[in-house]
Chain A
Amino acid sequence: MLPIIKITNLDKFFGRLQVLKKISLEIYPQEVVCIIGRSGAGKSTLLRCINYLEEPSCGDIEVDGVCISAGKKGKDLRELIHELRLRSGMVFQEFNLFPHMTVLENVMEGPVTVKKMDKASAVKIAEMNLERVGMIIKKDEYPNRISGGQKQRVAIARALAMEPKVMLFDEPTSALDPELIGEVLTVMKSLAREGTTMLVVTHEMEFACDVASRVIVIHDGELVEQGAPADLLNHPQNVHTQALLERYRAGKSPQVEA
């Protein structure tokens, strides 16, 4: 089986600081892969390199057959980035719903503006995806009138409406009040059950344990360990993984620290 995402020897520098070091990774269809690690380890940067919101300094990114090698320039690059972004859906920590559009309009925006779909079909797709995340009853509200958890569910629907091959989640519950986290994780679990390929940067160990088919540990820009959650979380081999899990067990979120 061919991988949906194939990352080869990815390096990323911010100025002289190297935040990703020779990362190679393959994600296969229907996998749910959780990326864990301390904050500042480079997890989010890795995710953002996959749709070129960050430009890799070195290495290849391939999503569903579209491949970009770092260093490419010009019109070619712009077209490839566009193709890459059409194949992946991104969910941000801060939701980033468009505040001047209703919930329905937020979800329709991609199909209408990017795919040039007619209004009626776009409404149909938007409503279907709002149904999937349980937000259809709020379709005519503006984002300022709904809770954080609801915003994130709409943001998931907005990404799904573009029918991506893989969903990328960048700490989707980190900006939420504790009582709102559950509803977002429930939606993500149901997506996983439907067979959606997902790559999730998260601090939710329970979610990783229950839903992930594979867990990846990033430490200081390096991929230090990966494996099935049962093995990795119970019998970590790498010292950094052990330290990380120790912190979680002590009840400290490594995100707050740093």
Chain B
Amino acid sequence: MVLLSKRSISIEPLSRKKSIARGVWITISISALSILLATILALLAALGRLSKFPPFYAICTFYVSLIRGTPLYLQIFFFFLALPQVGIILPGLWAGVLALGLNYGAYMSEIFRAGLSSVGKGQREAALAIGMTPGQTMSRIVIPQALRFAIPPTGNEFIAMLKDSALVSATGFVHELMWRATKVGRAQFHNLEALITAAVFYWVMTLVFSYFQGRLEARMSRGER
């Protein structure tokens, strides 16, 4: 991967690029862990919002409403700065994952809710009629079909999250791509080059994931009605 030609530049920009590149893996790790957490939360929240059990419904509706009603930026600072005040100190990476996961989980719960509702009543009845319990009907028949519906838009969310993970840099505790770009840029008075380098990394990452998302979508559509 040669972004800048070797001849034209001194040794310094190269090390700058390397320093920024190290952030790529942290950005990918944060995003991957966060999307995993978000998917689990989204599925639970979606089940909750379709549930007929009042406390479960209430908790899930409250969660989605609160998260969607406050800025992601605030939520990130809450986990880094507010929680330590009450004695909960999370390692930087995990605080970031928790904040992003909770936030995206709330938004993605709508995708999963639509997915669950897209599975017809007939499917449930057919499963119950062969003697499956309501739990088996959910896990074997309804959720697999809902996931098939939800996985392509979840890919979109992942791409959005790759970029929103940059917000975590604002806390200064997680040395991901954006943090490194601003740090290196300021130290060396090369903000323009540093930010362009970071932008290229983000862009390439989203291009790669868009490609895989396209392949996944094609795969998921097999066996569709």
Chains A and B come from one and the same complex: yes
Q: Which residues of A contact B (CB under 8 A)?
A: 51, 53, 82, 85-86, 88-90, 92, 94, 96-100, 109-110, 113-114, 142-144, 155, 158-159, 162
B222 engages A142 (CB within 8 Å)? yes
Contact of B224 among A94, A144, A162 (CB under 8 A): A144
B122 engages A144 (CB within 8 Å)? no
Residues in B neighbouring A143, C-beta threshold 8 A: 223, 225
Q: Which of B49-57, B95-103, B136-144, B181-189 contacts A (4 or more CB under 8 A)?
A: B136-144
A99-B223 contact, Cβ under 8 Å, with A82-B133, A113-B140, A114-B136? yes
Residue-wise interface mask of B (122-153) relative to A, using a CB-CB cutoff of 8 A (1 in contact, 0 not): 11011111111100100011001100100000
Candidate in B120, B123, B125, B126 with the most chain A CB atoms within 10 angstroms: B126
B222 engages A92 (CB within 8 Å)? no
Contact of A98 among B129, B131, B141 (CB under 8 A): B141
Least Cβ distance of A177 to chain B in Å?
A: 17
Whose C-beta in chain A lies nearest to the C-beta of B121?
A: A96
Contact of B130 among A100, A144, A162 (CB under 8 A): A162
Residues in B neighbouring A99, C-beta threshold 8 A: 145, 223-225
A86 engages B140 (CB within 8 Å)? no
Residues in A neighbouring B140, C-beta threshold 8 A: 109, 113
Whose C-beta in chain B lies nearest to the C-beta of A78?
A: B133
A53 engages B132 (CB within 8 Å)? no
A82 engages B126 (CB within 8 Å)? no
Distance of A225 Cα from B116 Cα, bound (Å) = 43
Residues in B neighbouring A144, C-beta threshold 8 A: 223-225
Distance of A93 Cα from B15 Cα, bound (Å) = 69
Least Cβ distance of A66 to chain B in Å?
A: 12
A96 engages B123 (CB within 8 Å)? yes
| 7 residue pairs A–B, Cβ–Cβ below 8 Å | A53-B125, A89-B130, A98-B145, A99-B225, A113-B132, A142-B222, A159-B130
Residues in B neighbouring A82, C-beta threshold 8 A: 131, 133
A162-B131 contact, Cβ under 8 Å, with A142-B222, A144-B223? yes
Contact of A85 among B129, B145, B223 (CB under 8 A): B129
Residues in B neighbouring A97, C-beta threshold 8 A: 126
Contact of A100 among B129, B133, B148 (CB under 8 A): B148
Distance of A87 Cα from B99 Cα, bound (Å) = 50
Distance of A113 Cα from B144 Cα, bound (Å) = 15
Residues in B neighbouring A109, C-beta threshold 8 A: 130, 140
Least Cβ distance of A16 to chain B in Å?
A: 22
